Amino acid sequence: MRVYVLNGPNLGRLGTRQVDVYGATSYADLVALCERTGADLGLEVTVRQTDAEHELIGWLHDAADEGAAVVLNPAAWSHYSIAVRDACAMLRGPLVEVHISNIHAREEFRHHSVVSAVATGVICGLGLDGYRLALHHLAALSG
């Protein structure tokens, strides 16, 4: 199974950005975790991060065209980007939305994700382990 692990704005700053919220693990460590987990599960995993909304939308279009599964941390775009939500709605494969922090325990504007309504499932508040769990879930679906 082909899986895109896609990350939105500011996630490339993991390890230096708000370590009290997001932890001290770097983005490079997150990429390694996803690639290692995917390999262990027999998944073909590609991990990407962008601060450009149009680039994320293009990657979602690619995943839709391929029928690939997606693990998506839309970051701030979760809360207001109808364009990202609409691109997610085009996916033919499963979509697992992941948030490192518990968005429901943070500022009120973060409590709602426009992406969640079109996601297969949502994992939030489990730190980087949410990515690992999402990949395990997708592997189980393909098995």
User: Which residues are part of a known binding site?
Assistant: 73, 79, 86, 100-101, 110
The CA distance from 34 to 56, in Å, is 18
Active site residue 22: yes
Q: What residues does 96 pair with on adjacent strands?
A: 71, 121
Q: Which one of 4, 27, 99, 131 is the catalytic residue?
A: 99
Task: Please give the annotated binding residues for substrate, written as ranges.
Answer: 73, 79, 86, 100-101, 110
Question: What is the bridge-based pairing of β-strands 44-49 and 95-99?
Answer: unpaired
Could you tell me the CA-to-CA distances from 5 to 59, 105, 106 in Å, in that order?
10, 24, 24
Catalytic residue among 4, 22, 27, 131: 22
Catalytic (active-site) positions: 22, 99
